[in-house]
Amino acid sequence: MNSQKHPKAIYEGRWIFIGLGFFWLLALILLPLLALPIGLLIIFSCYFFRDPERVVPEDPKLIVSPADGRVTSIEEVDGVEGDLYLTARMKRISIFLSVFDVHVNRSPIAGEIIHSEPRGGLYLDARKPESSLLNESRLWIIQGESFTVGVKQITGAIARRIVPWAHVGDHLKKGERFGMIRFGSRTELYLPIDVEVLVNVGSQVHGGSTVMATSKK
């Protein structure tokens, strides 16, 4: 279990808290009726930028979810389009994150980050399949002792910023935080073709704790 406290999620929302706090104080002085809805926005922002601790399964064969949200698709694909590292046929599990989900991303396995690349793009609704190809994104490739996985962070119609907290060469524990996406978005998990997927479309998953698949290696 990775028990290290991680205040970075709250830090990423600092300007939102400062701006809302300023307008809340201004509303108290000039227009008290606005203070309540602004106060509710401050409370929601605190809720959005939460980062709870998770119990991470220790078995190295168990691959955990990189994100909180709902599984929207499970399919086989020929690697990641435009990427030179993940070119073999793989299993892809797509997760949609609503604005009510935790938006911190965690490593599905223990391993070294061997690739991390941002890509510009659009801001389509992250629930649409085409958002995987067209939206702004960042692909992470994590190499474990026995196999390699990919995690793709994808922006959405509301999410406009992917925040990396780790770098190529870093060694991550399973379930360790490596970044976040601000507001509703999509996260994709790319797995070796021979893993056994343990979730279904519609499953609600939690980053770092929900077992997504098990490896035979």
End-to-end CA distance of the chain: 22
* Matching residue, tokens 């702004």: 136
Is 69 within 8 Å of 99 (Cβ atoms)? no
Residues 6 or more apart in contact with residue 78 via CB below 8 angstroms: 87, 88, 89, 90
In angstroms, rounded to a whole number, what is the distance separating the alpha carbons of residues 73 and 190?
12
Which of 132, 185, 209, 215 is catalytic? The answer is: 185
- Smallest CA-to-CA distance from 95 within 217, 1, 208 is with 208
- The three-class DSSP label of residue 65 is coil
Whether residue 73 lies in the annotated active site:
no
- Smallest CA-to-CA distance from 161 within 195, 196, 123 is with 123
Q: Which residues are catalytic?
A: 185
